[in-house]
Homo-oligomer: A and B are copies of this chain.
Amino acid sequence: MREKGLLIVLSGPSGVGKGTVRKEIFSQPNAAFEYSISMTTRLPREGEVDGIDYFFKSREEFEILIEQDKLLEYAEFVGNYYGTPVDYVRETLNSGKDVFLEIEVQGARQVREKFPEGLFIFLAPPSLSELESRIVNRGTETEELIRQRMLAAKAEIELMDLYDYVVENDHVEHACRRINAIVIAEHCRRERVSILYKKMLEVK
């Protein structure tokens, strides 16, 4: 008996290194989850392959998918659409495999509405915890700089409230190790496991 797969959503502020962490996770030979390829209307860059880097679609095709509610989340950046096809995600989860999404924070918000049971991981910049030593050693920084950093940190901490886990991206390998640990742990959660056992007994 196999449980439904987990939907793992990695997000965080832009520039935090989500793409690097995601690539590192999928470079591991034993990566235990499926990567959900995004769809975009932007043109392929040199070397990019349709169905590997992105699904490349025309603006018209993309807008039909929006109308048909076939996107788990989507957004427009500088004139191009980016989104996650929902069918692939549902089919893969139903087959018992975990699906990994790496998306922007506004996309993560949309996914939370449709898949509240997903596993949401916020990748946090190490600057947040560096903040503490900066505050403690405040003589070395101007008051204005500290004030700005604290405002930025507050905004980031408010973003976190949507998420189940916060992983600091201090080193790519550490971040990957924590993300893998989170997925292993979630598969051991009692609610999940005992439902499986209870179903097993009903088979009787």
Q: Which of A10-18, A40-48, A152-160 contacts B (4 or more CB under 8 A)?
A: A152-160
A178 to B157, CA, bound (A): 29
Does A165 interact with chain B (Cβ within 8 Å)?
yes
Q: Which of A58-66, A83-91, A183-191 contacts B (4 or more CB under 8 A)?
A: A183-191
Does A204 interact with chain B (Cβ within 8 Å)?
yes
Question: Which of A124, A164, A185 has its CB near the most chain B CB atoms (within 10 A)?
Answer: A185
Does A182 interact with chain B (Cβ within 8 Å)?
yes
Q: Are B184 and A177 in contact (CB under 8 A)?
A: yes
Question: Which of A124, A161, A166 has its CB near the most chain B CB atoms (within 10 A)?
Answer: A166
Selected from B132, B135, B177, B201, the residue in CB contact (under 8 A) with A153 is B201
Selected from B1, B190, B200, B203, the residue in CB contact (under 8 A) with A122 is B190
Q: Are B190 and A165 in contact (CB under 8 A)?
A: yes
Q: Closest Cβ of chain B: how far from A1's Cβ, in Å?
A: 6
Does A163 interact with chain B (Cβ within 8 Å)?
yes
A179 to B57, CA, bound (A): 44
Selected from B128, B193, B200, the residue in CB contact (under 8 A) with A160 is B193
Selected from B154, B160, B181, the residue in CB contact (under 8 A) with A180 is B181
Q: Are B178 and A194 in contact (CB under 8 A)?
A: no
A157 to B123, CA, bound (A): 35
Q: Closest Cβ of chain B: how far from A126's Cβ, in Å?
A: 12
A132-B200, A135-B204, A157-B201 provided; 15 other pairs, C-beta below 8 A? Answer: A121-B188, A128-B197, A129-B200, A131-B200, A150-B201, A153-B201, A157-B197, A161-B194, A163-B190, A164-B189, A165-B188, A166-B193, A181-B181, A181-B184, A185-B186
Question: Which residues of A line the B interface, CB within 8 A?
Answer: 1, 121-122, 124, 128-129, 131-132, 135-136, 150, 153-154, 157, 160-161, 163-167, 177-178, 180-182, 184-186, 188-190, 193-194, 197-198, 200-201, 203-204
